[in-house]
A and B are shown apart, each in its own frame.
Chain A
Amino acid sequence: MSFRLKLMLPLLAVFTASVGYPLLYAFYLSLTNYKITARYNTRLVGLKQYIATLQDPNYWNALQVTGTFVLLAVFIEFWLGLFIALALQKQKRIRNFTRSFLLTPMFVTPIAIGLMFRFLLNQQLGVIPTFMAKFGLSYDFFGPGKALYSIVLIDVWQWTPFMVLLLLAGLEGLSRSPFEAAKVDGASAFFTFRKITLPLLVPVISVAVLIRALDAMKVFEYVFAITRGGPAIQTMTIQYYTYQTGIQFYRLGLASAMSYLLLIIVMVIVVILFRRIESTRKNP
């Protein structure tokens, strides 16, 4: 056996056991009527679970809720993150401390962040609604029509630092010469930003947005900690809906079909975006 194969073998084995096998097994499960409560009546039912999923209005609702959540959260995180990264780059004093401090939210377990904001934003006991009440404002953060936006807000709080991290690394990796040329030509800061910084940063931006969007699609903890999908089904994200179907309603077959459909959607998005990133790289 060759040297490189010996090095690869453990990786292949563990990868097969922890990713490959479950992936195939999930596909098999999605073709059965498996229920945890009726394990011995399991049989193959073909594509029935997929058809049931596609006909389920709640599944489409979950896709829509997740889509709205991802678009809003990533949009805000990107712009806010970009401005913070720019400000950090120009900062002169206490740089390292500020950077470390601003990045802390992304290292904390999301369930703790979810519970923390549930506490801070609670209408009776939360400090933020209490202060707002002093100014005569009444706002129920987790009420109908508002809960999803509050979940977005929490995601922005926790994950903007991730954007900052990648964008800052990108900014500091840019070559100096175009900026020096711009300075010689007397270009304004805003002009330099729009015509030089942003275009040069496009590869980093696309990677950062892609990674963040794919991660945001998995949102689960905030919903689990705070709304459990409510009010009604307004914050029922795809990951939470699948969890509910599989774990609370015991329908592993159906839940597997749901997650496999999601996987297909995610893969299509990734391949399209990946190609686009590759092509901008080749002809900038």
Chain B
Amino acid sequence: MTTLNSTRLKPTWTLAGNSLLILMALSVFLPFFWLSLGSFKTGAQLNNPALLLFKPTLENWKEVLRSGVLESAYRSATVGLVTVSLSVVIGSMGAYAISRYKTGGSSTRFGILAAQVLPPAVLVFPFLEVSYKFRLNDTLFAVIISHLSFVLPVITWFLIGFFDAAPKEVEEQALVDGLSRFQAFRKVVIPQVAPGIGAAAVFGFVLSWNDLFYALILAPGNSATLPVKIASFNTFRGVELGAMCAAILVAVIPVLIVSFFIQKRLVRGISGGAVKY
């Protein structure tokens, strides 16, 4: 696994490295820890930030659940799942055509790469205007279309890399054995890159789940997704501060759990796709 075990390090370097890692781990842990403490504090206790021992209250969590955070988390999940499913199906077919048949040459690849660079501010106003026209403003439909604009290129880009790396022989054998080209694609090629597809799908889902900009502009009201809902807790009136902590944690916890379980594969997917670019 390690490529550099051969170079022996002086103990001081090792010590410096490990100290850095411990420091970084603390800087990741402490903010989340303080947020969790805050979510169990009453308004009065929150006025004393250094307070460590106190009688915890569940009021903040109850208030957050009453405010419809779970409903918006459900909407975010819906948007993410629809966007990712469409992107995986459409993207894998397109990526295969681009990888194997060099469709459109290098300009297709560049176009897909360039789409990831577009500032969201360019695309969002047309989305808003068109959704007004079709009376789709404040619906999840508008949000999904806008999320496709950045999830689809990313997933397609990852998959082009995976298809490039997949061996051709198995697929050619399948064609010799009498499968149609589409059957060979679906039954032979796709299983080969399935781990990659999984990583790309999770990454795309996280991108969609985390988006505030598009969702805030296209669906600020009744169809608010989780980030939009969290943003609405932005207040510094003491009483609501605890609820804000709890609301932030609602957004943080699922992602932390998911990222922890799939990270190893995800890391391989992201780095494999991105480093090769």
Contact = CB atoms under 8 A, between A and B. Distances in A.
Contacts of B251: 108-109, 111-112
Interface string B51-86: 000000000000000000000000000000000001
B24 to A, nearest CB: 6
Contacts of B206: 107
Contacts of B10: 189
A179 B3 contact: yes
B174 to A, nearest CB: 14
A11 B7 contact: no
Contacts, number: 290
B210 A84 contact: no
B93 A10 contact: yes
A263 B185 CA distance: 37
A242 to B, nearest CB: 4
Interface in B171-210: 181-182, 185, 206, 209-210
Contact of B20 (A84, A125, A262): A84
A15 to B, nearest CB: 7
B165 interface: no
B2 to A, nearest CB: 7
A61 B226 CA distance: 32
A98 B21 contact: yes
B231 A225 contact: yes
Nearest to B151: A18
Contact of A99 (B38, B216, B263): B263
B6 interface: yes
B239 interface: no
A63 interface: no
A182 B7 CA distance: 8
B5 to A, nearest CB: 9
Interface string B230-244: 110110101001001
Contacts of B14: 90
Contacts of B241: 119, 125
Contacts of A243: 121, 213, 217
B136 interface: no
Interface in B118-172: 118-130, 145-146, 148-149, 152-153, 156
Given A115-B234, A183-B8, 12 more contacts: A7-B93, A8-B93, A22-B126, A84-B24, A101-B25, A102-B21, A109-B211, A111-B251, A115-B244, A122-B236, A217-B119, A267-B114
